[in-house]
Amino acid sequence: KYSVSMVIGYLKGKSAIHIHRKAEGVKKGFIGRHFWSRGYCASTIGLDEEMIRAYVRDQEHLDKQEELDFTQNP
């Protein structure tokens, strides 16, 4: 009934708000903040552990590059 991207987007959105509220001790306000990186990994064919580790490493590199680009060009 629901697409994988829709479910993941919902889970990432709701969990980010929940974590922010718990960590900051606030009841409202999350607009303009980012918690999770873009995208996700979903496999129906069975990725092995090394492929998943490589995917995470690549995501970390991309996130650091995005942060660097943002700080240089706000």
Active site residues: 55
Per the listing, tokens 């590059």 go with 65
Nearest to 42 by CA among 11, 74, 68, 73: 11
DSSP 41: -
